[in-house]
C-alpha cells in the first residue's frame, strides 16, 4: 500500500500533503505565423516623457497622455511657425518702408541718390521730390511683394514638414517646374528683370519725354513688364522692358537749345551783335528767366557754304522749359534780324537761280524752239 498514492479500489489514502505551488506567469499567445506579440507597458513608456507624464498626472487619461505630442505639441509648433513668419514679414516690411521714406526725402544720403543727382553738373532743385517719392514707393512695393512671397513660401514648407510630408520630392518637383518655366518664359523673366533695374536706376518715369528707339514720346505708365509711351501724333506705344536697348531721356537734368540761322553773305559781326542782343532780352524776360540755367550765347559762324554763313545760338535751359525757350528765341532772333534790316540784305545776297536753258528762253532768242528766224 502506498500511503501518499492516489485512491485505489475505493479506499482513501491515510494522509494527504498539500504542496504550495507558485503561480505561473502568463505566456503570450502565439500568433498564427509563429511570431510572439507582446503588449508594451504604455504607462512605463509614458513616464519617460515629461509632457506625457504631466498630462497623465493632470488628466489621468492614458489615451490623451499618449496623444499629447500630436494634440498639443504639433499645433503649437505650427502656430509658432505662422507667428514667426508674420513677425519676420512685418519687420522686413517696416525696414523697406523706412528705406523708401528716407530715399524720398530731400536730405537723403548721397549713396542712395541716383548717379545723375550726384553729378557735379546737376543743378539743385531740378529733380522733383514728388517723382523721387513715387519711384521709392514703386521699388518698396516690389520689394515688399518679393519678401512676402519668400517668407510665406518657407513657412508653408515648414508647416508641411510638421504634418509629415516628405519635402525632398516636393522641392525636387518644384525645381523641375521652375526650370521648365524658366525655359518657357524667358522673355517674361527678361522683361521683369529689366523693369526692376529700370526702376532701381531711375532711367525714366511718368511724364518724361523719352526716345526708346522705335517709339518716342511722353511716358504715360511704367510697369515691371510694359512701358507705355504716347508719341506726338497721339499713338500709344506698348514697349516691353526687355526689348528696350537704349533710352534717351529728354526730361532729366538740363537741356540745350541750339538754333542755327543762315545769314547769307552779310557782315557776320553785325549779325552776331544783333542776335546776341535779342537773345539777352529773352533771357531777361521775367516769364522765361527761371527757365535759363546759363545766359544764352551766340557762338559765331557754325558753317559756311555756297549759300553763305550760318550763325549758331545756344542756351542751357531746364528740361521742362526747353521747347518754350526754343520757340521764344527763334521768334526773337527772327524779329531782330528783320528790325535791323539784315533780313533784306540776306535776301539780296542770295544768288538768283540759274536758267535750265543754256542760252535763255525761246522768247529771248526771238523765235520758236528749234526753228529759224
Query: pLDDT tens digit string along 312-328?
Result: 999 998 888 888 889 99
- Which of 121 and 200 is assigned the larger pLDDT? 200
Q: What's the CATH code of the domain at 221? A: 2.30.30.60
Section 258-262 average pLDDT: 91
Looking at 150, 165, 180, the residue that finishes a domain is: 165
Residue 270 pLDDT > 80: yes
pLDDT for residue 57 = 65
The counts of H helices and E strands in the chain are: 13, 8
Q: What's the CATH code of the domain at 284? A: 3.30.70.100
- Mean pLDDT is lowest, of 5-9, 208-212, 269-273, 289-293, for 5-9
Whole-number average pLDDT of the chain: 75
Count of domains for the chain: 3
Asked if residue 58 belongs to a domain, the reply is: no
Q: How does residue 221 score in pLDDT terms, banded at 50, 70 and 90?
A: confident
Contacts of 245 (CB under 8 A, 6+ apart): 213
**Do residues 208 and 264 share a domain?**
no
Asked if residue 356 belongs to a domain, the reply is: no
- Which of 263 and 32 is assigned the larger pLDDT? 263
**Do residues 221 and 159 share a domain?**
no
Residue 368 pLDDT > 90: no
How would you list the strands of the sheet with 248-249, edge to edge? 236-240, 226-230, 216-222, 209-211, 248-249
Query: pLDDT tens digit string along 226-252?
Result: 889 999 899 999 999 888 888 888 887
- Mean pLDDT is lowest, of 19-23, 141-145, 214-218, 340-344, for 19-23
- Which of 13 and 166 is assigned the larger pLDDT? 166
Section 300-317 average pLDDT: 88
**3-class DSSP state of 355:** coil
- Does this model's pTM top 0.85? My answer is no
Section 328-353 average pLDDT: 81
Query: pLDDT tens digit string along 167-183?
Result: 888 778 878 877 777 77
Asked if residue 88 belongs to a domain, the reply is: yes
**Do residues 287 and 331 share a domain?**
yes
Asked if residue 226 belongs to a domain, the reply is: yes
Asked if residue 46 belongs to a domain, the reply is: no
pLDDT for residue 55 = 65
**Do residues 101 and 88 share a domain?**
yes
Q: Is 326 exposed, middle or buried (0-12, 13-18, 19+ CB in 10 A)?
A: middle
pLDDT above 70 covers what percent of the chain? Answer: 66
Looking at 121, 144, 165, the residue that finishes a domain is: 165
**Do residues 301 and 336 share a domain?**
yes
**Do residues 232 and 263 share a domain?**
no
Give the DSSP letter string of 33-86. Answer: TS-B-----HHHHHHTSHHHHHHHHHH--HHHHHTHIIIIIHHHHHHHHHHHHH
Distance (Å, rounded) from C-alpha 226 to C-alpha 221?
8
Asked if residue 155 belongs to a domain, the reply is: yes
Residue 67 pLDDT > 60: yes
- Which of 206 and 49 is assigned the larger pLDDT? 206
**Do residues 81 and 151 share a domain?**
yes
Asked if residue 328 belongs to a domain, the reply is: yes
**3-class DSSP state of 217:** strand
**Do residues 219 and 271 share a domain?**
no
Asked if residue 69 belongs to a domain, the reply is: no
Q: How does residue 101 score in pLDDT terms, banded at 50, 70 and 90?
A: confident
- Which of 345 and 297 is assigned the larger pLDDT? 297
Residue 13 pLDDT > 50: no
Query: pLDDT tens digit string along 27-46?
Result: 455 545 554 444 444 455 56
**Do residues 274 and 345 share a domain?**
yes
Range of the domain at 244: 201-249
Looking at 220, 249, 278, the residue that finishes a domain is: 249
pLDDT for residue 88 = 94
**Do residues 157 and 208 share a domain?**
no
CB contact at 8 A, 250 and 319: yes
pLDDT for residue 16 = 47
**Do residues 151 and 224 share a domain?**
no
**Do residues 226 and 293 share a domain?**
no
Amino acid at each position: 500500500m502506498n500511503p501518499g498514492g492516489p485512491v485505489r479500489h475505493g479506499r482513501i489514502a491515510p494522509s494527504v500533503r498539500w504542496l504550495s505551488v507558485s503561480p505561473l506567469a502568463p505566456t503570450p499567445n502565439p500568433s498564427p505565423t509563429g511570431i510572439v506579440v507582446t503588449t508594451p507597458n504604455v504607462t512605463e513608456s509614458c513616464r519617460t516623457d515629461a509632457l506625457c507624464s504631466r498630462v497623465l498626472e493632470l488628466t489621468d487619461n492614458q489615451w490623451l497622455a499618449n496623444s499629447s505630442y500630436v494634440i498639443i505639441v504639433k499645433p503649437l509648433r505650427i502656430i509658432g511657425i505662422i507667428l514667426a513668419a508674420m513677425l519676420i514679414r512685418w519687420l522686413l516690411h517696416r525696414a523697406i518702408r523706412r528705406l523708401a521714406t528716407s530715399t524720398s526725402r530731400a536730405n537723403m544720403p548721397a549713396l542712395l541718390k541716383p548717379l545723375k543727382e550726384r553729378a557735379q553738373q546737376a543743378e539743385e532743385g531740378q529733380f522733383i521730390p514728388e517723382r523721387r517719392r513715387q519711384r521709392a514707393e514703386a521699388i518698396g512695393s516690389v520689394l515688399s511683394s518679393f519678401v512676402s512671397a519668400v517668407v510665406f513660401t518657407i513657412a508653408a514648407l515648414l508647416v508641411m514638414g510638421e504634418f509629415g510630408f516628405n519635402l525632398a520630392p516636393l522641392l525636387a518637383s518644384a525645381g523641375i517646374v521652375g526650370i521648365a518655366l524658366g525655359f518657357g518664359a524667358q522673355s517674361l523673366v527678361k522683361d521683369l528683370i529689366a523693369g526692376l533695374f529700370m526702376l532701381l536706376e531711375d532711367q525714366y518715369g511718368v511724364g518724361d519725354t523719352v526716345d526708346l528707339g522705335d517709339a518716342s514720346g511722353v511716358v504715360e505708365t511704367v510697369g515691371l513688364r510694359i512701358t507705355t509711351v504716347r508719341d506726338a501724333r497721339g499713338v500709344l506705344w506698348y514697349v516691353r522692358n526687355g526689348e528696350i536697348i537704349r533710352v534717351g531721356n529728354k526730361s532729366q537734368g538740363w537741356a540745350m537749345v541750339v538754333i542755327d540761322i543762315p545769314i547769307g553773305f552779310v557782315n557776320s559781326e553785325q549779325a552776331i551783335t544783333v542776335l546776341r542782343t535779342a537773345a539777352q532780352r529773352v533771357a531777361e524776360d521775367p516769364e522765361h528767366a527761371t527757365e535759363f540755367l546759363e545766359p544764352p550765347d551766340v557762338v559765331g559762324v557754325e558753317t559756311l557754304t555756297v549759300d553763305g554763313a550760318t550763325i549758331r545760338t545756344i542756351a542751357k535751359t531746364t528740361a521742362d522749359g526747353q521747347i518754350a525757350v526754343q520757340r521764344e528765341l527763334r521768334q526773337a532772333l527772327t524779329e531782330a534780324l528783320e528790325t535791323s534790316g539784315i533780313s533784306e540784305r540776306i535776301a539780296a545776297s542770295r544768288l538768283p537761280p540759274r536758267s535750265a536753258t543754256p542760252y535763255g528762253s525761246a522768247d529771248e532768242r526771238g523765235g520758236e524752239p528749234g526753228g529759224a528766224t
